[in-house]
Amino acid sequence: MTEERGGMVVYWRPGCPYCMKLRLRLRFSCLTYTEVNIWRDKDAAAFVRSVADGNETVPTVSVAGRALVNPSKRQVVRAVTEHAPHLLPAKAAPER
């Protein structure tokens, strides 16, 4: 996936409480990312297995090609800051 190289992808599956928690927190972060349901995308499921010791552990997040298995929001933001700062929200213009 193109997003894996320079962007961020959140791999998830329905019914996963950890996925719901992270996805909700990320929605309020203003980060730019793509969500992929591993139950609907065989290639995504294979990617998750390849970085999670053969398991379909979700959420798994790819930031500029670097995989984070079951990360916290803080870990995701740190990875974005270090490896894909272009995904961070633009700073608001100062008020006059």
- Structure confidence at residue 91 (pLDDT): 64
- Structure confidence at residue 3 (pLDDT): 52
- Structure confidence at residue 40 (pLDDT): 98
- Structure confidence at residue 57 (pLDDT): 97
Pairing mode of beta strands 60-63, 66-69: antiparallel
- Structure confidence at residue 6 (pLDDT): 78
pTM listed for this prediction: 0.87
- Structure confidence at residue 30 (pLDDT): 87
- Structure confidence at residue 49 (pLDDT): 98
Please name each of the domains of the chain with its CATH number: 2-83 (3.40.30.10)
The arrangement of strands across the sheet holding 8-12 comes to 34-37, 8-12, 60-63, 66-69
Q: What is the pLDDT along the chain (96 residues), one digit of tens a residue?
A: 435 467 999 999 999 999 999 999 999 988 989 999 999 999 999 999 999 999 999 999 999 999 999 999 999 999 999 999 988 887 644 455
Crossing angle of helices 73-83/17-27, nearest 10°? Answer: 50
